[in-house]
C-alpha cells in the first residue's frame, strides 16, 4: 500500500524547532541517567555536589573543585611537570614516615601556636603562594585572604602572579600577608614591586628560585597544565637572544641576586625552592633570614626528590640559624606533624586552599584550612605532643626506599 504524503501541518510539525528541542532534552535526560552511566567519569561520582558541611578532608575539596571548575582550570592546579614523578613522590614520601606516639605522655590540651620571623600564628600552617585565583572563583585572592583570615588568621603568601593587586588585598584587612617575588634579571626592575608590597604592609618577602625553564620547556609545561595550546611568547621577527631560545626571565639566577635584593627589602627575606644542604648554607651566607624547602609542588623539575625526604639533612645543615619552612604535597594534619617533627618551623599549603576557593569561595578556604588545623591538633594529642616543642625527631621513623 502506497504511503500517503504528509500534509502541510505534519510537515511543519516534523520541522518544528520545538520538537527538536524536546527530543534533545529527552536525549540529554536519558544520557544523564545514572542507570545508563553515559557521560559518567568512571573514576569520580558527579551525581551530586556535596555541601560544605559534608566535606571531611582536604581531598573532598578536590572532588568538588573538579566538579565545578572548567577542566583547564582544574588541570592547572592539579597537575605537575613532565611525567609527574615528583607529584606522586611528594605524596608517597608521607608513607615512608611513621609517627611513633609517646604513649606515656599526655596531651589533653594542645598549644599549636608559633612565631616565624616575627609573624605570630595559632597554627604552624600558611597558605603558599599560587597564581591567578581568578580562574578558581570570582572573589579571586580577596576570597582566599578572607578565608585565611577566618581560619585562625592563617598567614597568606601572595603570589607575584596574583590576579588582584597586593595593595588591594592588604587594604581588605585581616591576617598577616607575605609577598612572593619572581625576580627579574635587571636588579632595579624588582624594586617597584618590592616597594609597593612593603608599603602595603607585607611581613616578609619570599623569592622563588626553583622555577627555571627554557623557551620550549615552558610552553610544553603550560600546555600540559592547562589543556590549552599556547604559543611561546616570542614576537614574530624578533631574533632570539641565543640559539636555544632560553627565555630572558629564566635560567639566569645567581646567588649574587640576593646581595642586590637585600638592601631593597626591609622585612625578613626568604628563598623558596631549596632541596639541598649546600643551597641552604649558601642562603645563610648571602644573608637570607629563612628558607622554604620546596620542589614547587612537583610543577618544576621532574624526578627531583620530595620535600619531606630531604628536610632532615637541610635542617641539620642549617643548625637552627634560620627557620626552615616547607611545602609540596601536604594535605593532612598528620603530614604537617611529620614535617614539624623533622625540623620544619611551619608548613605551607598550596593546592588545599585553592581547592577550597574553587569549591565554595572564601568559606571553602576557611573550612579546608580548619580541617587541616583540627587534624594537626588531633594528631598532636594522639602522639602525646602538648606543644610543638614536644614534636621532635624521635616522633618520626623515616624509612626511605
Select from 145, 109, 143 the least CA-distant residue to 127. Answer: 145
131 Cβ neighbours under 8 A, 6+ residues apart: 159, 160, 161, 162, 163
User: Which architecture characterizes domain 71-212+253-398 according to CATH?
Assistant: Alpha-Beta Barrel (3.20)
Domain locations in the chain?
71-212+253-398
Among residues 133, 137, 221, 296, which one is catalytic?
Answer: 296
Q: How would you class 285 by CB atoms within 10 Å of its CB: exposed for 0-12, middle for 13-18, buried for 19 or more? A: exposed
Residue 73: enclosing H or E segment and its boundaries? helix 71-78
Tens of pLDDT along 69-104? Answer: 988 889 889 988 878 899 999 999 999 999 999 877
Q: How confident is the model at residue 211 (pLDDT cuts 50, 70, 90)?
A: confident
| pLDDT at 322 > cutoff 80 | yes
Tens of pLDDT along 256-283? Answer: 999 999 999 999 999 999 999 999 999 9
**Whole-model pTM?**
0.84
79 assigned to active site: no
How far the first Cα of the chain sits from its last, in Å, is 81
- Dihedral of CA atoms 186, 191, 197, 203 in degrees, nearest 10, equals 90
Percent of the chain with pLDDT over 90: 69
DSSP state at residue 247: -
Distance (Å, rounded) from C-alpha 369 to C-alpha 357? Answer: 11
Q: How confident is the model at residue 6 (pLDDT cuts 50, 70, 90)?
A: low
What is the rounded average pLDDT of the residues 185-209?
97
Q: How confident is the model at residue 12 (pLDDT cuts 50, 70, 90)?
A: low
Distance (Å, rounded) from C-alpha 352 to C-alpha 33? Answer: 32
Distance (Å, rounded) from C-alpha 254 to C-alpha 109? Answer: 47
- In DSSP notation, 112-149 reads --EEETTEEESSSEEEPP-S-GGGT-TTHHHHHHHHHH
Amino acid at each position: 500500500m502506497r504511503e500517503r504524503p504528509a500534509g502541510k501541518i505534519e510537515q511543519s510539525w516534523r520541522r518544528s524547532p520545538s520538537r527538536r528541542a524536546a527530543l534533545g532534552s529527552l536525549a540529554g535526560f536519558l544520557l544523564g541517567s545514572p542507570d545508563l552511566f553515559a557521560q559518567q567519569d568512571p573514576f569520580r561520582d558527579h551525581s551530586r555536589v556535596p555541601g560544605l558541611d559534608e566535606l571531611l578532608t582536604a581531598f573532598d575539596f578536590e572532588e568538588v573543585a573538579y566538579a565545578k571548575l572548567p577542566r583547564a582550570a582544574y588541570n592547572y592546579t592539579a597537575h605537575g611537570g613532565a611525567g609527574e614523578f615528583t607529584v606522586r613522590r611528594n605524596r608517597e614520601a608521607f608513607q615512608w614516615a611513621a609517627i611513633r606516639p609517646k604513649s606515656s605522655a599526655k596531651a589533653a590540651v594542645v598549644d599549636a601556636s608559633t612565631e616565624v620571623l616575627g609573624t605570630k600564628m595559632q597554627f604552624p600552617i600558611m597558605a603558599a603562594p599560587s597564581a591567578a585565583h581568578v580562574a578558581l572563583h570570582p572573589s579571586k585572592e580577596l576570597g582566599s585572604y578572607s578565608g585565611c583570615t577566618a581560619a585562625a588568621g592563617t598567614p597568606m603568601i601572595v603570589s607575584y602572579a596574583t590576579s588582584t593587586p597586593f595593595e588591594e588585598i592588604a587594604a581588605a584587612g585581616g591576617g598577616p600577608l607575605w609577598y612572593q617575588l619572581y625576580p627579574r634579571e635587571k636588579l632595579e626592575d624588582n624594586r617597584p614591586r618590592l616597594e609597593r608590597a612593603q608599603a602595603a604592609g607585607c611581613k616578609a618577602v619570599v623569592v622563588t628560585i626553583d622555577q627555571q625553564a627554557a623557551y620550549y620547556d615552558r610552553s610544553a609545561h603550560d600546555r600540559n597544565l592547562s589543556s590549552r595550546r599556547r604559543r611561546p611568547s616570542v614576537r614574530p621577527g624578533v631574533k632570539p637572544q641565543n640559539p636555544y631560545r632560553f627565555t630572558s626571565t629564566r635560567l639566569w639566577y645567581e646567588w649574587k641576586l640576593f646581595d642586590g635584593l637585600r638592601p631593597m627589602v626591609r622585612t625578613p627575606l626568604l628563598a623558596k625552592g631549596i632541596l639541598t644542604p649546600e643551597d641552604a648554607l649558601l642562603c645563610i651566607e648571602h644573608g637570607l633570614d629563612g628558607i622554604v624547602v620546596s620542589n614547587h609542588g612537583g610543577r618544576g623539575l621532574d624526578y627531583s626528590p620530595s620535600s619531606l625526604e630531604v628536610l632532615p639533612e637541610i635542617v641539620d645543615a642549617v643548625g637552627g640559624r634560620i627557620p626552615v619552612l616547607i611545602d609540596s604535597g601536604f594535605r593532612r594534619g598528620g603530614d604537617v606533624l611529620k614535617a614539624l617533627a623533622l625540623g620544619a618551623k611551619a608548613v605551607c599549603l598550596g593546592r588545599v586552599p585553592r581547592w577550597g576557593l574553587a569549591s565554595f569561595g572564601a568559606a571553602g578556604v576557611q573550612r579546608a584550612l580548619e580541617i587541616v588545623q583540627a587534624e594537626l591538633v588531633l594528631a598532636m594529642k594522639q602522639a602525646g605532643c602538648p606543644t610543638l616543642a614536644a614534636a621532635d625527631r624521635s616522633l618520626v621513623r623515616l624509612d626511605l626506599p
